[in-house]
Amino acid sequence: MYYSYVMGIDNRIMELASQGFDIQNDGDNFMVSFPEEKSDVWEGFITKYLELGYWNEYLTNDRVVFLFRLEAGIKRYEVYDYENNEVLALCEKLCECKFESIRAMLVGNHFYKKVLE
């Protein structure tokens, strides 16, 4: 399974449940799980609704895929071993905060922490 924690998306995300996505409410946010073969569906959906200056990431078996909505359009990164200085710098710039590492940023989220441990 692949996993994504989603903020800033409305209930339209629930339409993905009929396509094999497991979507759980977490306050105003969503915890999403989906099979590998649905990653293209996920990327199509999330990039359609990402606002300028925001990103979404999803965890796979061997990497983290980041999708950023920047002025130039969608920028996609595949990060292995939680190491990518460009991605870390973009996350820090967009949320105006500092992270020890990509892994530390992810395990700071209770959903990802359960998945990663």
DSSP 78: E
pLDDT digits (tens, 9 = 90+) for 44-100: 999 999 999 999 999 999 999 999 999 999 999 999 999 999 999 999 999 999 999
What's the Cα-to-Cα distance from 5 to each of 8, 34, 88, 108, rounded to whole Å? 10, 12, 17, 12
* Per-residue pLDDT at 117 exceeds 90: no
Q: Rounded to two decimals, what is the model's pTM?
A: 0.94
- How high does pLDDT run on average in the chain? 95
Compute the distance between CA of residue 117 and CA of residue 107 in angstroms, rounded to an integer: 9
